[in-house]
Amino acid sequence: MSIKRRELLKIFGISALSTPLISFSSHSPSHGTSPNIIIKPPRLRIGDTVGLISPAGIVDTEDIQQAQKTLGNLGLKIKLGKHILDRYGYLAGKDIDRAADVNHMFADKSVTAIIAMRGGWGCNRILPLLKYHLIRSHPKIIMGYSDITSLLLAINARSRIVTFHGPVAISSWNQFTLDYLQPMLLQGKMVPMKNPLTTEVRRRIINPGIATGKLVGGNLSVVCAMVGSPYLPSWNRRILFVEDIGEDIYRVDRMLTQLKNAGILSQLSGFIFGQCTRCSTGDDPSLTLMEVLNDHIKPLGIPAWYAAMIGHIQDKFTMPIGVNVEIDANQGEIRMLEPAVV
């Protein structure tokens, strides 16, 4: 007796949510790779064109001028998204238009890399409108942080390409940031990342040890907002890094509890909390951030530490999502085991 389509959907509905909803035809120019293989984007070269987009919060002409000057000083050309100055309330335009700019930049053969202008809020809204097959067929560097976490994780999960948690276009592209970004993206080097001795925030070991796995993560609030959606990569044996800004400690507790109860934390091989910028204990009695991290992360028994140079800070690492790394919690070091670009 045949099973009706509706019954099949009931049987397979749950697994469908955890599987990248993407298929590839024989003509896909995806280097002949299996859809399960991570593709690395081409490296950035002096003279290349960078596409600037506003997939989240609004920007103005001064922001664009600042970004053009910053990237121009690095020897890069600029191409602006068609809707980069659009406004729709607190969003940089309608969802369909912000998504169109992402899709168009990946399809544009003159563009080598894509950088978000800023974070804010809005990337989660456009995830269903992205053309993941197109993106995989035209792998490119895409970079940003904060709300851009949504794009980075979804494109990594659904298009299976390496993405980059790093500065947005209006960030302070200071020498510290460039010392990590340029060797990784322009020279294809495996860059070791370790806090300088002069950093103001003291590094704290949660669990000592060394672990390996694919790097994944971003803004903690955004990651939690994506839980239950089909836009997150696998967590099995991953190294998770997170960061946040302006959150009371009880909110960080709540978000880590969500990841724990969703079965995510128990799958990890390592954990890094970057910086929690302007995170407060509030006026009421509170746990400290380290107490919260010890409650949730220490029982996992995996190598973990707090205060890596990741987050809403001026001096930041560029974190390649989807690349195999080795972490050393004793030294607070992240070591790439493969290049992130080709």
Q: Distance (Å, rounded) from C-alpha 26 to C-alpha 18?
A: 24
Same domain for 206 and 128, yes or no, is no
* 6 falls within a domain: no
Same domain for 160 and 227, yes or no, is no
Judge contact between 162 and 190, C-beta under 8 A: no
pLDDT at 127: 98
Cα distances (Å, whole numbers) of residue 110 to 107, 142, 229, 248 = 9, 15, 33, 44
Q: Distance (Å, rounded) from C-alpha 338 to C-alpha 34?
A: 19
User: Of the candidates 205, 201, 228, 28, which has an alpha carbon nearest to the alpha carbon of residue 124?
Assistant: 228
pLDDT at 200: 76
pLDDT at 15: 34
User: Of the candidates 36, 9, 35, which has an alpha carbon nearest to the alpha carbon of residue 24?
Assistant: 35
Same domain for 168 and 57, yes or no, is yes
User: Of the candidates 38, 42, 40, 66, which has an alpha carbon nearest to the alpha carbon of residue 52?
Assistant: 66
Element at 64 (helix H, strand E):
helix 61-72
* 112 falls within a domain: yes
Q: Distance (Å, rounded) from C-alpha 148 to C-alpha 125?
A: 12
Same domain for 298 and 215, yes or no, is yes
Active-site pick, 30, 54, 243, 269: 243
Domain at 324, CATH number: 3.50.30.60
Same domain for 160 and 279, yes or no, is no
What's the domain count of the chain? 2
Q: Distance (Å, rounded) from C-alpha 228 to C-alpha 230?
A: 7
Domain at 88, CATH number: 3.40.50.10740
* 17 falls within a domain: no
Same domain for 248 and 321, yes or no, is yes
* 131 falls within a domain: yes
Sequence letter at residue 239: I
Residue-wise pLDDT tens digits, 123-142: 999 999 999 999 999 999 99
Same domain for 94 and 202, yes or no, is no
Percent residues over pLDDT 70 in the chain: 90
**pLDDT surpassing 90 at residue 47:** yes
Domain finish residue from 173, 203, 237: 173
* 324 falls within a domain: yes
Same domain for 151 and 219, yes or no, is no
**pLDDT surpassing 90 at residue 153:** yes
Residue-wise pLDDT tens digits, 198-207: 877 899 999 9
Q: How confident is residue 33, by pLDDT bands cut at 50, 70 and 90?
A: low
Same domain for 113 and 211, yes or no, is no
The domain of 284 spans 193-336
Q: Distance (Å, rounded) from C-alpha 332 to C-alpha 324?
A: 17
**pLDDT surpassing 80 at residue 187:** yes
User: Of the candidates 162, 177, 190, 200, which has an alpha carbon nearest to the alpha carbon of residue 33?
Assistant: 162
Q: Is 312 a catalytic residue?
A: yes
| CA 210 to chain CA mean position, Å | 23
Residue-wise pLDDT tens digits, 54-107: 999 999 999 999 999 999 999 999 999 999 999 999 999 999 999 999 999 999
* 38 falls within a domain: yes
Sequence letter at residue 334: I
Q: Distance (Å, rounded) from C-alpha 300 to C-alpha 304?
A: 9
Same domain for 154 and 227, yes or no, is no
State the DSSP string of 158-184. Answer: HT-B-EEE---TTS---HHHHHHHHHH
Residue 20: strand, helix, or coil:
coil
Same domain for 206 and 127, yes or no, is no
Active-site pick, 30, 146, 150, 269: 146
* 178 falls within a domain: no
* 5 falls within a domain: no
Domain finish residue from 122, 138, 173: 173
Same domain for 239 and 319, yes or no, is yes
Q: Distance (Å, rounded) from C-alpha 241 to C-alpha 217?
A: 5
